């Protein structure tokens, strides 16, 4: 069956009921003129333009990628694919791919050979190590490499060079996920599983627009809602998203007030006796403090602070408080807002006091935003130590040193890892003088872009960019290294519910582009990095060798991969870690029967103060939690740092659209996706637009004390007083390639502020004060008008489709249980 997957991003419904298996639906899209029988071979992989980790096969014809189809046997998606999966692969074939190294000569980037480029990179690193030491060297990575590449990078940076300046763009999207899990459970690692959707009677989405960020996971929810005995849905989001329109209760709090709202929900759950007291007594510490804290946050107070009807707060609390099987998910609406970690921890608290962990339907997902963000954290590429080792625990450092066969003092652990915002500040001040950026675009994605561009453009900073396109960041580099991407190399990666997939090489990379792993190993060899026996520090030459090395690093740790192999991952479904002798087929739920990874001698972290961010000492943690239980951590509500004023009366929030990923370097090169969302827009409520005489399609200027952006207006169901901008739009496809000096931009992060959460160090993108003014009245339908109800306003009208035949995909429905329609 053909269906336009731009206009219908979630495809056809396959309803099913609680406890039933999600029916299979295989989605396929092939290039024009290619029939299934024309495909030479199908190569196993998984999706990379979101964090869901959907299993798929890559279609190859005459040595080129010509399409994709979902893997029916995969536990994550049962054959389904979202729009970015179906169409995003076309970016691999874009004619403007980087195919040769570039080096800056006389102010211009010119083509060179690999030896010249890598000698320049290694040579400058050696000079700075001799002159200043490891503190001069920094690595800023991504959430889109493979596990094997992150682990090799972490080994080189921590074990070889000895720098503490290692982080990824995961700091911008899911650092709070890791921080919240560490605060409550002593370790990263998601308690829940996607299969919890199959069993839950209540699904609560806290700041998570699942419909646009994880389309296939939302499809699973929609199929439950279409089936018998559907779950109730709670949505916390200031925008009227597709999730909000499907919700039983939609709470639209004022941005920056999530802690107040969560404390009110916890207040009601405790006051009404909806606490699993036996579970809390046996498996948690800190209940008395939590009870005392939330007693001061009744729904009436939250209604005033959050500007949410008190009846809605009570109804939402009743639903989560009386649920038999509660599944919750948290994402950027909490992670990128004021008091991010404190708010996300309160969701953990809700599950702990309700005893909703470690059993079907009782899932908790502190959601990721990128396909391999989990591996960034697991492998130590975000600054933490690999395999969830504790940098504050000397025994953990010694254990890692034994795995790497180096002196423990070579591994930096004398202070907390340097987070991205701090790393850029060090570069601004001049102590960091070498920055290697891989597969990310901070010149568009970081906050306060004017400042970031100035930092990256400094002559004293040696900037290396490893990417597949000449992004805004690459244009500022001293050396640009052309990388292979998904489909052009082999490796593994792990999604948010701990499912590990293999992605096999399907085609050759273009020109001289190389796999990231090969580039890192080349760098290590040129740096002559060695272990304490004089042998090469990096002891592998291919992805499978790196994976085997990683397995040994994880032995006995929470993310135990020792039961996995490339052979085991090929041919079937992805497999959830921990996978070892005890759990040879993987592990669907962790924390079963209140068994946590929070023992003081085993845990990844002792936690932080949620207000100041100061690390909790080992002595303090052992006194609080000597038996390794879950930690109920209370939080006081504090007002946002930047508040509205007469000059800047709107609260600005940024976010994503269904059709694009990050800074559009891939999705804008897929014609169907770019046509669906070609230009930046700004959302305002109907009342705010009417008060100012604005109409749909007007060209507006949005300004903050940091910059100005222009965008066409969409009138939507967003709460009054709030303006929304998608953050994807930069300048690489502009003639200049960058924002013209002194002119209005289109990148939302021209406006955001340099501020971060004290515990997770994640930048705050959703609490800035802004002004909105009209530049030009609309003369008709704006070019940025939405093409689907996915991002759409209040009218409910379904707009015409725009994709035509090129945007269609086939769906093959198989009834496993329930029915189809």
Reported as a single tens digit per residue, the pLDDT across 471-512 is 999 999 999 999 999 999 999 999 999 999 999 999 999 999
Identify the CATH class of 116-174+374-592. alpha beta
Residues of the chain with CATH 2.40.40.20: 650-790
CA distances from 544 to 103, 200, 470, 490, 566 (A): 31, 38, 30, 9, 7
CATH homologous superfamily of domain 176-367+597-631?
Dimethylsulfoxide Reductase, domain 2 (3.40.228.10)
Query: Residues with Cβ < 8 Å from 783, sequence gap 6 or more?
Result: 678, 679, 712
According to the model, what pLDDT value does residue 767 have?
86
Environment class of residue 730 by beta-carbon count within 10 Å: exposed (0-12), middle (13-18) or buried (19+)? buried
d(CA 344, CA 335): 7
Nearest-angstrom CA–CA distance, 94 and 489? 17
Exposure of 779 by Cβ count < 10 A (0-12 exposed, 13-18 middle, 19+ buried)? exposed
Nearest to 674 by CA among 652, 657, 696, 697: 657
Strand order in the sheet with 232-236: 249-251, 232-236, 202-206, 326-330, 364-366
Please give the mean pLDDT across all residues of the chain. 94
The CA distance from 19 to 31, in Å, is 38
Q: How many angstroms separate the CA atoms of 696 and 683, rounded? A: 10
> Judging by beta carbons within 10 Å of its beta carbon (0-12, 13-18, 19+), is residue 424 exposed, middle or buried?
buried
Where does the pLDDT of residue 808 fall: very low under 50, low under 70, confident under 90, or very high at 90 and above?
Answer: confident
H-run or E-run covering 775: strand 768-776
Q: In what helix (H) or strand (E) does residue 220 lie, and over which residues does it extend?
A: helix 215-226
Between 449 and 797, whose confidence is greater? 449
The pLDDT of residue 280 is above 70: yes
Average pLDDT over residues 333-349: 97
Confidence of residue 742 (pLDDT cuts 50, 70, 90): low
What is d(CA 320, CA 329) in angstroms, rounded to the nearest whole number? 13
What is the CATH number assigned to the segment(s) 650-790? 2.40.40.20
Q: What is the pLDDT of residue 733?
A: 76
What whole-number percentage of the chain has pLDDT above 70? 95
Coil, strand or helix: which one is 193?
coil
One CATH from 2.20.25.90, 3.40.50.2300, 3.40.50.300, 3.40.710.10 for 2-97: 2.20.25.90
What is the model's pLDDT at position 84? Answer: 97
Instruction: Find the DSSP H helices in 45-113.
Output: 83-87
Q: How far apart are CA 176 and CA 173, in angstroms?
A: 8
Q: Using CA atoms, how far apart are residues 676 and 9, in angstroms rounded to an integer?
A: 11
Residue 658 CB burial class (10 angstroms; 0-12, 13-18, ≥19): buried
Which candidate, 479, 481, 429, 478, places its Cα nearest to that of 451?
429
- Of 76, 55, 82, the residue nearest 658 (C-alpha): 82
- Strands, E, within 80-201: which ranges? 102-105, 108-111, 137-141, 166-168
- The DSSP bridge partners found for residue 635 are none
438: left (phi over 0), alpha (psi -120 to 50) or beta: beta
Contact 656, 727 (CB under 8 A): yes
Percentage of the residues of the chain whose pLDDT score is greater than 90:
91
- Say if residue 45's pLDDT is above 50: yes
CA separation for the pair 51, 645 (Å, rounded): 37
Looking at the chain, the domain(s) classified CATH 3.40.228.10 span 176-367+597-631
Region 157-176: what's the mean pLDDT?
A: 96
- Calpha distance 719→333 (Å, rounded): 14
State residue 791's pLDDT score. 44
**Closest listed residue to residue 196, CA positions, set 321, 353, 351, 336:** 351
Span 454-472, mean pLDDT? Answer: 97
Q: What is the pLDDT of residues 643-682, one digit of tens each?
A: 999 999 999 999 999 999 999 999 999 999 999 999 999 9
Categorize the per-residue pLDDT at 744 as very low, low, confident or very high, splitting at 50, 70 and 90. Answer: confident
Q: Pick the more confident residue, 783 or 818.
A: 783
Strands 768-776, 699-704: parallel, antiparallel or unpaired by DSSP? antiparallel
From-to residues of CATH 2.20.25.90 in the chain = 2-97
pLDDT per position as a tens digit, 511-542 = 999 999 999 999 999 999 999 999 999 999 99
* Sequence-separated (6 or more) residues with CB below 8 Å from residue 802: 6, 7, 675, 676, 787
Per-residue pLDDT, 781: 55
Max intra-chain CA distance, the chain: 74
Taking only the tens place, the pLDDT of each residue in 294-318 is 999 999 999 999 999 999 999 999 9
Going by DSSP bridges, is the β-strand pair 64-70/55-61 parallel, antiparallel, or unpaired? antiparallel
Classify burial at 650, counting beta carbons within 10 Å of its beta carbon; exposed 0-12, middle 13-18, buried 19 or more.
buried
Q: Quote the pLDDT of residue 1.
A: 76
Give the CA count within 13 Å in the CB-facing half-sphere of 664. 29
Model confidence at 816, pLDDT cuts 50, 70, 90, reads very low
Whole-number Cα distances in Å, 283 to 185, 270, 524, 631, 632: 11, 17, 46, 9, 10
Least confident of 10-14, 604-608, 793-797: 793-797
All residues at 6 or more sequence positions from 716 whose CB lies less than 8 Å from its CB, including other chains: 239, 240, 683, 684, 685, 724, 792, 793, 794
Contact criterion met (CB below 8 Å) for 281 and 265: no
* pLDDT tens per residue, range 376-435: 999 999 999 999 999 999 999 999 999 999 999 999 998 889 999 999 999 999 999 999
296 half-sphere exposure, CB direction, 13 A CA radius: 9
Q: Cα dihedral sign for 144, 147, 148, 151?
A: positive
The pLDDT tens digits of the residues spanning 217-266 come to 999 999 999 999 999 999 999 999 999 999 999 999 999 999 999 999 99
CB 288 within 8 A of CB 321: no
Closest CA to 489 of 519, 522, 524: 519
According to the model, what pLDDT value does residue 738 have? 60
Which segments of the chain belong to CATH 3.40.50.740?
116-174+374-592
Q: What is the pLDDT of residues 49-59, one digit of tens each?
A: 999 999 999 99
More confident residue, 364 or 804: 364
What per-residue confidence (pLDDT) applies to 736?
62
**pTM of the predicted protein model:** 0.95
In whole angstroms, give the CA distance from residue 195 to residue 218. Answer: 13
């Amino acid at each position: 069956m053909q269906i336009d997957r731009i206009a219908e991003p979630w495809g056809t419904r396959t309803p099913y009921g609680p406890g039933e298996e999600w029916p299979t639906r295989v989605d396929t899209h092939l290039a024009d003129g290619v029939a299934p029988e024309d495909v030479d071979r199908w190569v196993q992989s998984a999706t990379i333009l979101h964090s869901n980790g959907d299993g798929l096969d890559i279609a190859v014809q005459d040595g080129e990628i010509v399409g994709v189809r979902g893997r029916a046997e995969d536990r994550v998606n049962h054959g389904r694919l979202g729009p970015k999966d179906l169409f995003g692969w076309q970016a691999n074939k874009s004619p403007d791919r980087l195919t040769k190294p570039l080096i800056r000569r006389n102010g211009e980037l010119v083509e060179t050979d690999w030896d010249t480029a890598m000698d320049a990179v290694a040579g400058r690193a050696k000079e700075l190590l001799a002159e200043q030491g490891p503190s001069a060297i920094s690595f800023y990575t991504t959430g889109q490499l493979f596990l094997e590449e992150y682990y090799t990078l972490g080994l080189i940076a921590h074990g070889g060079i000895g720098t503490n300046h290692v982080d990824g763009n995961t700091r911008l999207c899911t650092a709070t996920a890791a921080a919240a899990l560490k605060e409550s459970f002593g370790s990263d690692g998601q308690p829940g599983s996607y299969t919890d959707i199959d069993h839950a009677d209540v699904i609560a989405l806290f700041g998570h627009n699942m419909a646009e960020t994880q389309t296939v996971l939302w499809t699973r929810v929609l199929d439950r809602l279409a089936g018998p005995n559907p779950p109730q849905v709670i949505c916390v989001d200031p925008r009227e998203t597709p999730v909000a329109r499907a919700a039983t209760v939609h709470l639209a709090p004022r941005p920056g007030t999530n802690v107040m709202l969560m404390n009110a929900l916890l207040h009601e759950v405790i006051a009404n006796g909806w606490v699993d007291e036996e579970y809390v007594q046996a498996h948690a510490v800190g209940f008395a403090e939590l009870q005392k804290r939330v007693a001061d946050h009744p729904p009436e107070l939250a209604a005033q602070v959050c500007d949410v009807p008190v009846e809605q707060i009570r109804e939402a609390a009743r639903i989560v408080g009386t649920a038999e099987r509660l599944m919750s998910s948290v994402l950027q609406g909490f992670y990128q807002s004021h008091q991010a970690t404190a708010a996300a921890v309160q969701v953990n608290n809700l599950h702990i006091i309700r005893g909703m962990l470690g059993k079907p339907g009782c899932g908790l997902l502190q959601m990721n935003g990128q396909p391999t963000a989990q591996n960034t954290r697991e492998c130590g590429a975000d600054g933490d130590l690999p395999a969830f080792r504790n940098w504050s625990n000397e025994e953990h450092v010694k254990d890692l040193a034994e795995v790497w066969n180096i002196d423990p003092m070579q591994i930096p652990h004398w202070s907390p890892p340097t987070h991205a915002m701090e790393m850029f500040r060090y570069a601004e001040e001049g102590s960091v003088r070498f920055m290697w950026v891989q597969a990310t675009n901070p010149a568009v994605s970081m906050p306060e872009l004017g400042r970031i561009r100035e930092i990256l453009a400094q002559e004293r900073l040696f900037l290396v960019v490893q990417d597949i396109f000449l992004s805004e960041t690459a244009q500022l580099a001293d050396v640009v290294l052309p990388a292979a991407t998904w489909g052009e190399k082999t490796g593994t990666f792990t999604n948010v519910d701990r499912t590990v997939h293999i992605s096999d090489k399907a085609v050759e990379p273009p020109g001289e582009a190389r796999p990231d792993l090969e580039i890192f190993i080349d760098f290590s060899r040129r740096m002559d990095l060695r272990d304490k026996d004089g042998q090469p520090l990096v002891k592998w030459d291919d992805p499978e060798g790196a994976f085997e090395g990683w397995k040994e690093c994880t032995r006995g740790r929470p993310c135990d991969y020792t039961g996995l192999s490339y052979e085991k991952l090929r041919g079937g479904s992805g497999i959830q870690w921990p996978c070892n002798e005890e759990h040879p087929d993987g592990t669907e739920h962790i924390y079963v029967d209140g068994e946590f990874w929070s023992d003081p001698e085993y845990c990844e972290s002792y936690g932080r103060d949620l207000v100041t961010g100061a690390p909790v000492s080992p002595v303090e943690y052992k006194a609080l939690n000597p038996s390794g239980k879950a930690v109920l951590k209370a939080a006081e509500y504090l007002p946002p740092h930047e508040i509205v004023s007469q000059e800047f009366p709107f609260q600005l929030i940024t976010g994503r659209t269904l059709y694009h990923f990050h800074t559009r370097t891939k999705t804008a090169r897929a014609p169907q996706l770019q046509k669906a969302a070609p230009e930046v827009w700004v959302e305002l409520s109907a009342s705010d637009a009417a008060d100012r005489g604005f109409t749909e399609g007007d060209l507006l200027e949005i300004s903050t004390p940091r910059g100005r952006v222009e965008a066409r207006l969409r009138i939507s169901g967003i709460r009054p007083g709030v303006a929304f901008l998608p953050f994807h739009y930069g300048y690489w496809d502009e003639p200049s390639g960058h924002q013209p000096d002194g002119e209005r931009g289109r990148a939302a992060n021209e406006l955001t502020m340099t501020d971060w959460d004290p515990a997770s160090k994640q930048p705050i993108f959703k609490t800035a004060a802004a002004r909105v003014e009209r530049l030009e009245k609309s003369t008709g339908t704006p070019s940025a008008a939405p093409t689907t109800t996915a991002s759409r306003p209040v009218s409910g009208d379904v707009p015409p489709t725009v994709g035509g035949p090129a945007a269609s995909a086939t769906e093959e429905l198989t009834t496993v249980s329930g029915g189809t329609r």
